[in-house]
Amino acid sequence: MTGAEIMVEALKKEGVDIIFGYPGGVLLPLCDKLYDSGINVILVRHEQGAAHAADGYARSSGRVGVCMATSGPGATNLVTGIATAYMDSVPVVAITGQVATHLIGSDAFQEVDITGITRPITKHNYLIKDVKDITRTVKEAFYIAKSGRPGPVLIDLPVDVQRAEGKFEYPDEIEIRSYKPTYEGHPLQIERAWKAIKEAKRPLFLVGGGVISSGASEHLRNFVEKTGIPVVFTLMGLGSIPGDHPLALGMLGMHGTKYANYAVVESDLLIAVGCRFDDRITGKIETFAPHAKIIHIDIDPSSISKNIVVDIPIVGDAKNILSKLVENAEKLHIEAWVKKIMDWKEKHPLTYEKNGLKPQYIIEKLSGMLPDDAIICTEVGQNQMWTAQYYKFRKPRTLVTSGGLGTMGFGFPAAIGTQVANPDKIVLDIAGDGSIQMNIQELATAVYNKLPVKIIILNNRCLGMVRQWQQLFYKKRYAFTCLEDAEPDFVKLADAYGAIGYRVNSTEEFDKIIPKVLKEKEKPVLVDCWICEEENVFPMVPAGASLDQMLEGLA
Amino acid sequence: MVENGEKEQKAHTIVIAVENKSGVLARIAGLFSARGYNIDSLCVSETEDPSISKMTLTVKGDERILEQIYKQLNKLIDVIKVFDLTEGDFIDRELALVKVKTLNAAARQDIMQIASIFRAKVVDIGRQSLTLEVAGKTSKVNAMIEMLKSYGIKEMIKTGKIAMAREFNQKK
């Protein structure tokens, strides 16, 4: 067998049936063997799309997403997608072609040191120099990508190794002496945590993406319902328990709800699970949760006490630890605390002026009419924050969004990957008119593969989030944020690609068209919603301010 | 955290056992530069097990930075184990080659005397220079270099520290 054939067989052993990719010179031997291998290779129109699609596939399904590209520019085009997956701990395996081993280091045509370039943005990476290393490398790569704190792994495969003759012997088990993730939480720490929970007067859950990736939603919900402790979510944690659960307080942080942020400020015990205290949730770090003891449950020891000093760290898998905690769980007498929060919730709800076609209206409307298992992908910016605020995510893995890296252009290709992984579910991309243009070429991929992704463009003719900051902090000097003068006709654009396009200007038009949009099963549909240009995302904690210093709106 | 200027910046001697593979040094060096940690010295070599290399690093930082360095290093897949030797007794050595000016016979005499006090060896001689090899604890090596400065050091190179825990180790 050739190296390329060995690679294909190894991927099959790992259960791979979909690869998002783009061919190229030094990837030809592998492409040729994949051609009739039974693995479905989805041809994207830009390698960045392949990386995001693999990412969306992984986030929405929990399986490892796979993408591939050729050497040089193909590989560098994957970089943003790999970094996106790395920041949000998503299991992706990226395969890149490389120039022949004897040419490595000679600045050959389309040569880049992609293992060097991706070293800080992958969990691990490999350059395979010998055909006999392929099987072990693939086995290790998939194991590393999905175990512990998940993350992307890159395999660089030179063209001569793809052509070399070798034997296929796939290892059943893998042992990496230097890599042993901790799954079991320390029993003494768990005991200490439970004691602190029982003693707390104002306990609060802070839930991040780790709960979703470890599959701990059910355990969390059990624990929350048994004890009655309210929950705030990071962006990545949304959907871990239903957003319309009475104890769910929505997102905290920069664009969090007032009641979530107030709760953090007043809490005396924060039980943080699978989150990493990113600056977008803590605000000014010195004044974050000033009265609270902090329990931090995370599988990555380096997340603990990195940004926030923690009182009771528990290293391990969230599902494992929550299932232990739930064994002892009992109703806590925190009625006064819960009442206080419910009063805030009533007094300071998320709100907006209801005149004209408002983005918040669109999201609320979708939240009300979509089935619980519909999956919402977002781009980055105002569209993302409105979605996080107004959509009630009711199941884990129903929000696919670039949290850590904040990658514009992520949503649409990620929606393609999501639709491939979930052919029977409704998949939406909530986009802005700026970010959708960053990977609009993937319309061709969606049309060709008959993927009925619904793209809802919240079109405000500008780069809204940056414009919002300029309005608030840069004296309304709108430097390079206006798109109006060269806004494409998105309906014609959809049409040109063979997709369906609609334009709506009012709530009535939106209400009328949306049932038809959701019914489409064959083609991607783009709905260009012309929303009010001036609409901003509120509340807002300005960068570097404390969580209780929220801006509410503009005079 | 950045605002810890007033916290104690202690020098730590860390030994890292890593897979003896290409690219591992780049991973470690990249981690330090990406996260803004400073390496004062770094020394890498093979061990009794050819599949394992050991790196000795000296780094400065307060407790929290050291804790992060320790955790981030452990997170790298190729890192087998990290030891902070500063927590117990350890042996450490450094070697320096120092080429020092000898403008006249008296200077040469003086320098040879200094060398003998520090148990340094003369490893090369020129018309107007002597090259000394000195090994020992960093403080000793530095003390000799200090003594030689007044004669004029033409060239100097150090290996960086290597270190090993003592067999009978008393935790501090």
Together in a domain, B26 and B42: yes
Domain limit, last residue, from B45, B64, B88: B88
Q: Is A146 on the interface with B (CB under 8 A)?
A: no
Answer yes or no: do B107 and B79 share one domain: no
Of B27, B71, B80, Cβ closest to residue A302: B71
Please judge whether A178 and B71 are an interchain contact, meaning their C-beta atoms are less than 8 angstroms apart. Answer: no
Structure tokens at A84: 């996106």
Q: How far is B34 from chain A (nearest CA, A)?
A: 8
- Answer yes or no: is B27 within a domain: yes
Domain assignment of residue B171, yes or no: no
Q: Find the helix packing angle between B138-149 and B105-117, rounded to 10°.
A: 170
Contact A207, A247 (CB under 8 A): no
Quickly state the pLDDT bin for B159 (edges 50, 70, 90).
very high
Tens of pLDDT, residues B50-102: 999 999 999 998 888 899 999 999 999 999 999 999 888 999 999 999 999 99
Beta carbons of A127 and B23 less than 8 Å apart: yes
Co-location of B75 and B14 in the same domain: yes
Give the domain-ending residue among B88, B118, B141: B88
Chain A closest-CA separation from residue B1 CA (Å): 7
Angle of helix A464-473 relative to helix A382-390, nearest 10 degrees, comes to 100
pLDDT of amino acid B170: 64
- Which residues of B are less than 8 Å from A178 in CB distance? 18-19, 77-81
Whether B77 and A116 lie within 8 Å, measured CB to CB: no
User: Cα–Cα distance between A114 and A110 in angstroms, integer?
Assistant: 11
Q: What is the ipTM of this complex?
A: 0.89
Asked whether the beta carbons of residue A306 and residue B27 sit closer than 8 angstroms, the reply is no
Q: Is B170 inside a domain boundary?
A: no
Domain for residue B169, yes or no? Answer: no
Residue B112 has pLDDT above 60, yes or no: yes
Say if residue B125 is in the same domain as residue B153.
yes
Q: Is B112 contained in some domain?
A: yes
- Each residue's pLDDT tens digit, A99-154: 999 999 999 999 999 999 999 999 999 999 999 999 999 999 999 999 999 999 99
Note whether A41 and A19 are within 8 A (CB).
yes
Q: Which residue has the tokens 């940004």?
A: A307
Residue B74 with chain A: CB contacts under 8 Å = 301-302
B69 and B127, same domain (yes or no): no
pTM of this structure: 0.95
B2, B67, B71, best to mutate vs chain A, most A CBs in 10 Å: B71
Q: Is residue B172 part of a domain?
A: no
Q: What is the pLDDT of residue A328?
A: 86
Domain shared by B70 and B106, yes or no:
no
Domain that holds residue B18: 10-88
Does residue B17 lie within any of the structural domains?
Answer: yes
For A277, the 3-state DSSP assignment is coil
Same domain, B79 and B42: yes
Please tell me whether residues B126 and B74 are part of one structural domain.
no
Contacts of B73 in chain A (CB under 8 A): none
Rounded to the nearest 10 degrees, what angle do helices A318-328 and A217-227 cross at? 30
Q: Are residues B73 and B139 in the same domain?
A: no
Domain boundary among B88, B109, B126: B88
Q: Tens of pLDDT along A200-243?
A: 999 999 999 999 999 999 999 999 999 999 999 999 999 999 99
Average pLDDT estimate for A474-487: 95
CATH code for the domain in which residue B149 is found:
3.30.70.1150
Both B14 and B83 in one domain: the answer is: yes
Specify whether B65 is located in the same domain as B99: no
Whether residue A301 and residue B78 make contact (CB cut-off 8 A), yes or no, is no
- Residue B37's CATH number: 3.30.70.260
The answer to whether residue B3 is domain-embedded is no
CB A373 within 8 Å of CB A421: no
| A155 contact residues in B (CB cutoff 8 A) | none
Q: Shortest CB distance from A179 goes to which of B18, B71, B77?
A: B77
Query: How does residue A464 score in pLDDT terms, banded at 50, 70 and 90?
Result: very high
Task: List domains and CATH numbers for chain A.
Answer: 3-163 (3.40.50.970), 187-347 (3.40.50.1220), 359-530 (3.40.50.970)
Cβ-Cβ contacts under 8 Å, B81 against chain A: 178
Please count the structural domains in chain B: 2
Handedness of CA A275, A277, A280, A281 (dihedral sign): positive
Give pLDDT tens digits for A43-52. Answer: 999 999 999 9
CB spacing of A176 vs B75 below 8 angstroms: no
List the 263-322 stretch of A: residues with Cβ below 8 A of B. Answer: 285, 300-302, 304-307, 309
